[in-house]
């Protein structure tokens, strides 16, 4: 079946450090890939997405590239801020609107 695997957290970084959160997937067909972010006390919200191979999603300085050859969709940001502290979820859909979410990676950014 379809699945998403993302790196265990928590990830703790200093402000302005480079961020990478790894995500790999297993899916039949041609999935759409997403990163969602959850700030404390809130629901998840879409950060970025890519719907076909080699697409790059980007938003708020975050980027992720859909790599079909490595079945990956790693999240990156060149310089994190304290306000980026949150839980990040990788997710996919494949042929339906049922989302498959990863387990989430908690990011803590220290000033």
Partner 1 sequence: DAGVIQSPRHEVTEMGQEVTLRCKPISGHDYLFWYRQTMMRGLELLIYFNNNVPIDDSGMPEDRFSAKMPNASFSTLKIQPSEPRDSAVYFCASISGRQGGTGGNEQFFGPGTRLTVL
* Partners of 34 in beta bridges: 49, 91
Find tokens 């191979």 and name the residue.
Answer: 53
- Of 49 and 77, nearer to partner 1 (C-beta) is 49
Q: Least distance (Å) from partner 1 to the CB of residue 79? A: 26
- Of 78 and 95, nearer to partner 1 (C-beta) is 95
Contacts of the segment 49-57: beta carbons below 8 A, 24+ positions apart: 57/33
Does position 39 interact with partner 1 (CB under 8 A)? The reply is: no
**How many CA atoms does the CB half-sphere of 108 hold within 13 Å?**
5
- Give me the residues that bind partner 1 (CB under 8 A), please: 30-32, 36, 41-46, 49, 51, 89, 93-99, 101, 103-104
């Amino acid at each position: 079946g379809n699945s998403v695997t993302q790196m265990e957290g928590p990830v703790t970084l200093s402000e302005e450090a480079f961020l990478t959160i790894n995500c790999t997937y297993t899916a039949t067909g041609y999935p759409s890939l997403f990163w969602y972010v959850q700030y404390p006390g809130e629901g998840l919200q879409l950060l970025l997405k890519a719907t076909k191979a080699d697409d790059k999603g980007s938003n708020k300085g975050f980027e992720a590239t859909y790599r079909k050859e490595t079945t990956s969709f790693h999240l990156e940001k060149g310089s994190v801020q304290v306000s980026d502290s949150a839980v990040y979820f990788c997710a996919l859909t494949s042929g339906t609107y049922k989302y498959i979410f990863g387990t989430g990676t908690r990011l803590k950014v220290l000033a």
